[in-house]
């Protein structure tokens, strides 16, 4: 997969903020684009149905019958029924539903568990009678425990009640193995109160389902990324808080109007780290406006991305070529950002009046101006990758 990491992306960017960074005598804008690929967003599995149902008598006195009817929503019910006298009340045993068949990835961090129970009550004859939750708890390895997430009164017709949620761990710590275990599930006990009279009071459960929420840790957690102009280059800097099986980073660039990311530098990664680590890469040939991101490749070829940033390059902030003195007399000095390979001087009419080819081993050169008349000339300075034209005034 790592060999095919350059993807087409939309050529639009929105929701960005402007940050200015002062460098030398210029103020360079850096637009930090807020969108990026999610690296560790919350995922979910389910809702799943239970595979095993039972009655657990560790609480209450009224047993559940036909427990397996709660496997699907089909108007066949797990049932707890009791007849009570004046002001009588009773708690049911636990209706236990386990073996949910989850297959959460082993590296997942469990963030929440949601239980949905479709239920209602039925009373043949009652006055001020009620059915309410007594205890709703989760099972871990077959053991009932944790917080009691009981709600209030049961409805008189089938409806789902939701217990817990995407950020509720029910007072327990969970691993992926705990969730995938056949002993993971939910237990529910109800409280039945007769009031002034109650005959054939029923608690009915049609369906129990569970959804599990989790995060998958990414190989690298990016802390920040920034880009600044450093002389004739763009310097990219990023940091990681943690690394797990990281192989290397690839600095990528996309110019405006294009829709393909291209690699500009590759930096080895730490591999394993639980401390802040800093990395640097350079764009040796920036355009006026540049988009950058960092692609992290881990040991098994999977990859993730940093935020995307836009960095503007201002040629005026660092002249790539200096010609001095100007106006010149008998000679002129040339200092370039890259080794000089060619000097060509043309007069105001465009005629070539002097030409020097150089080996390209030195970024400084001297051009003699003897026997040339005063006037305005154009001086072309060539390097292996660039050409620059400077206006030169000759005054002897």
Is the pLDDT at 38 greater than 80, yes or no?
Answer: no
What pLDDT, on the 0 to 100 scale, is given for residue 374?
Answer: 93
For domain 2-37+218-316, the CATH class is mainly beta
What pLDDT, on the 0 to 100 scale, is given for residue 229?
Answer: 87
| Positive/negative CA dihedral, 239, 242, 248, 253 | negative
Is the pLDDT at 26 greater than 60, yes or no?
Answer: no
Cα separation, 395 vs 392, in Å, equals 10
What pLDDT, on the 0 to 100 scale, is given for residue 336?
Answer: 83
What pLDDT, on the 0 to 100 scale, is given for residue 319?
Answer: 66
What pLDDT, on the 0 to 100 scale, is given for residue 339?
Answer: 87
Is the pLDDT at 293 greater than 70, yes or no?
Answer: yes
What pLDDT, on the 0 to 100 scale, is given for residue 109?
Answer: 86
pLDDT, tens only, 64-77: 999 999 999 999 99
pLDDT, tens only, 294-349: 998 888 777 888 888 999 888 766 667 888 899 999 999 998 877 899 999 999 88
CATH annotation of 319-394: 2.60.40.3080
State the architecture of 43-215 in CATH terms.
Answer: Sandwich (2.60)
Is the pLDDT at 132 greater than 90, yes or no?
Answer: yes
pLDDT, tens only, 76-87: 999 999 888 777
Question: pLDDT tier at 198 (50, 70, 90 boundaries)?
Answer: low
Same fold, 2-37+218-316 and 319-394: yes
What pLDDT, on the 0 to 100 scale, is given for residue 221?
Answer: 75
What pLDDT, on the 0 to 100 scale, is given for residue 264?
Answer: 93
Is the pLDDT at 23 greater than 70, yes or no?
Answer: no
Residue 230 in tokens: 């450093």
The domain limits of the chain are 2-37+218-316, 43-215, 319-394
What pLDDT, on the 0 to 100 scale, is given for residue 327?
Answer: 93
Which is nearest to 183 in space by CA: 304, 308, 51?
51
In angstroms, how far is CA 224 from the centroid of its own chain?
Answer: 13
Backbone angles phi, psi at 355, to 5 degrees: -145, 135
pLDDT, tens only, 221-257: 777 888 988 877 899 999 888 887 788 999 999 876 7
Q: Hunting for tokens 């034209």 — which residue is that?
A: 389
Mean pLDDT, residues 53-59: 97
Q: In whole numbers, what is the pLDDT of the chain averaged over residues?
A: 84
In angstroms, how far is CA 203 from the centroid of its own chain?
Answer: 45
Strands 109-127 and 52-56 turn out to be: unpaired
Write out the H or E segment, with its range, that includes residue 239: strand 233-244
pTM more than 0.75: no
- Mark residue 24 as left, alpha or beta (left: phi above 0; alpha: psi -120 to 50; beta: remaining): left
CB 226 within 8 A of CB 237: yes
SS3 of residue 63 by DSSP:
coil
What pLDDT, on the 0 to 100 scale, is given for residue 354?
Answer: 93
Cα separation, 374 vs 393, in Å, equals 8
Cα separation, 58 vs 244, in Å, equals 44
What pLDDT, on the 0 to 100 scale, is given for residue 90?
Answer: 93
């Amino acid at each position: 997969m790592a060999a095919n990491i350059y993807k087409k992306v939309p050529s639009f960017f929105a929701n960005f903020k402007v940050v200015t960074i002062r460098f030398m005598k210029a103020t360079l804008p850096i637009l930090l684009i807020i969108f990026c690929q999610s690296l560790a967003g919350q995922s979910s599995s389910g809702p799943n149905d239970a595979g095993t149902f039972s009655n657990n008598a560790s609480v209450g006195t009224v047993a559940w019958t036909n427990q397996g009817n709660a496997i699907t929503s089909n108007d066949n019910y797990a049932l707890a029924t009791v007849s009570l006298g004046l002001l009588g009340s009773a708690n049911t045993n636990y209706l236990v539903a386990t073996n949910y068949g989850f297959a959460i990835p082993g590296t997942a961090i469990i963030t929440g568990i949601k239980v949905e129970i479709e239920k209602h009550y039925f009373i043949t004859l009652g006055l001020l009678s009620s059915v309410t939750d007594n205890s709703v708890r989760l099972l871990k390895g077959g053991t009932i425990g944790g917080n009691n997430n009981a709600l209030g009164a049961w409805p008189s017709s089938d409806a789902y009640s939701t217990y817990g949620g995407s950020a509720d761990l029910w007072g327990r710590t969970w691993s992926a193995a705990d969730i995938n275990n056949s002993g993971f599930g939910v237990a529910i006990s109800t409280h039945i109160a007769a009031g002034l009279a109650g005959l054939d009071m029923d608690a009915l459960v049609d369906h129990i389902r569970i959804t599990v929420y989790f995060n998958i840790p990414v190989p690298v957690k990016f802390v920040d990324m920034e880009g600044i102009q450093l002389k004739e280059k763009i310097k990219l800097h990023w940091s990681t808080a943690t690394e797990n099986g990281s192989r290397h980073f690839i600095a990528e660039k996309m110019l405006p109007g294009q829709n393909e990311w291209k690699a500009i530098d590759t930096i080895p990664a730490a591999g394993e780290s639980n401390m802040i680590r800093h990395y640097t890469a350079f764009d040796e040939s920036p355009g006026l406006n540049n988009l950058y991101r960092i692609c992290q490749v881990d040991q098994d070829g999977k990859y993730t991305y940093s935020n995307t940033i836009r960095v503007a390059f201002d040629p005026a902030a660092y002249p790539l070529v200096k010609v001095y003195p100007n106006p010149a007399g008998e000679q002129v000095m040339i200092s370039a950002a890259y080794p000089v390979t060619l000097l060509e001087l043309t007069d105001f009419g465009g005629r070539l009046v002097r030409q020097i080819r150089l080996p390209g081993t030195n970024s400084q050169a001297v051009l003699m101006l003897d026997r040339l008349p005063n006037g305005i000339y154009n001086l072309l300075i060539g390097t292996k990758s660039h050409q620059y034209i400077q206006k030169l005034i000759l005054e002897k």
